[in-house]
Amino acid sequence: MKNFYPLLKKMPLFNGIKENELSGLLECLSAKTKKFDKTATVLMAGDVSSFVGVVLSGAVQVVKEDFLGNRTILAKLEAGELFGEAFACGKNHILPVNVYTVEKSEILMINYRKMITTCTSSCVFHNKLIENMLGILADKNQMLNQKIEILSRRSTREKLIAYLTAQAQKAGNASFMIPFNRQELADYLCVDRSAMTNEIRKLREEGVLQVERNHFELLHHN
């Protein structure tokens, strides 16, 4: 376990907790590590789970299956990434997704009740952990909200404008770079790439924005 401490130390969940304080904390949490084969099921849809999972090594896939049997890969999580936190901390503990390993993996399982029940020895790191968890959920909330705001728009054009507006706001500047290439941007906006590129051209022709590769500039023209 000790060899994972440097990894844990870098995680937002253990932010502010020193490497030499981790062992006490993990014991206090009764955190257990579990080993999985290359192709194993970590959690199944319908399972009741009150654990926060941390990928220590290997990688897992979060997969959603609808009633027609269509599979959608929602995420691939690698070492240092978290899963199941919303179902551990929320009222509903029933998972709507499957979690499979795609490599030989080790997973750290942290029990939710142990996490929120501060220990008798009034362990300061414990409080820090809860604060970190709160922050992680809040940050995710912000991200998800921003994405919903974009996906709520009906047309590709409106989605683009919503996204670019948010990016400009984030950059604090009407001129900014985006972290996606065209295909990735189209995937994020859930639209067709060619239709999106077309829309970008139109917006440029209309003088709404300037574009060069990943660099965008919104042009205000009252």
Binding site residues, a second copy, CB under 8 A: 64, 66-68, 74, 85-92, 96, 116, 118, 122, 127, 130-131, 133-135, 137-142, 144-149, 151-154, 161-162, 165-166, 168-169, 174, 190-191, 218, 220
Residue 153: both structure tokens together = 């728009």
Residue 64: both structure tokens together = 């959603």
Q: Considering the complex, state which of residue 39 and residue 72 has its C-beta at the smaller distance from a second copy.
A: 72
**CA 40 to CA 42: how far, in whole Å?**
6
**CA 171 to CA 39: how far, in whole Å?**
41
Q: Considering the complex, state which of residue 177 and residue 219 has its C-beta at the smaller distance from a second copy.
A: 219
What's the closest the beta carbon of residue 210 comes to DNA, in angstroms? 11
Q: Please report where in the chains the tokens 């790191």 appear, as a residue.
A: 125
Q: Does 152 bind DNA (CB under 7 A)?
A: no
Q: Does 27 bind DNA (CB under 7 A)?
A: no
What's the closest the beta carbon of residue 57 comes to a second copy, in angstroms? 26
Residue 67: both structure tokens together = 């009633």
CA distances from 21 to 1, 2, 119 (A): 14, 11, 15
What's the closest the beta carbon of residue 10 comes to a second copy, in angstroms? 16
Q: Please report where in the chains the tokens 């993996």 appear, as a residue.
A: 105
Site string for DNA, 177-206 (x = CB under 7 A): ----xxx------xxxxxxxxxxxx-----
CA distances from 186 to 71, 82, 193, 212 (A): 20, 26, 5, 17
Contact of residue 30 among DNA, a second copy, none (CB under 5-8 Å per partner type): none
Q: Considering the complex, state which of residue 10 and residue 202 has its C-beta at the smaller distance from DNA.
A: 202
What's the closest the beta carbon of residue 36 comes to DNA, in angstroms? 31
What's the closest the beta carbon of residue 208 comes to DNA, in angstroms? 14
Residue 69: both structure tokens together = 């049997």
93: exposed, middle or buried (Cβ count in 10 Å: 0-12, 13-18, 19+): middle
Residue 74: both structure tokens together = 């929602």
What's the closest the beta carbon of residue 181 comes to a second copy, in angstroms? 19
Q: Which residues bind DNA (CB under 7 A)?
A: 154-157, 181-183, 190-201, 211, 213-214
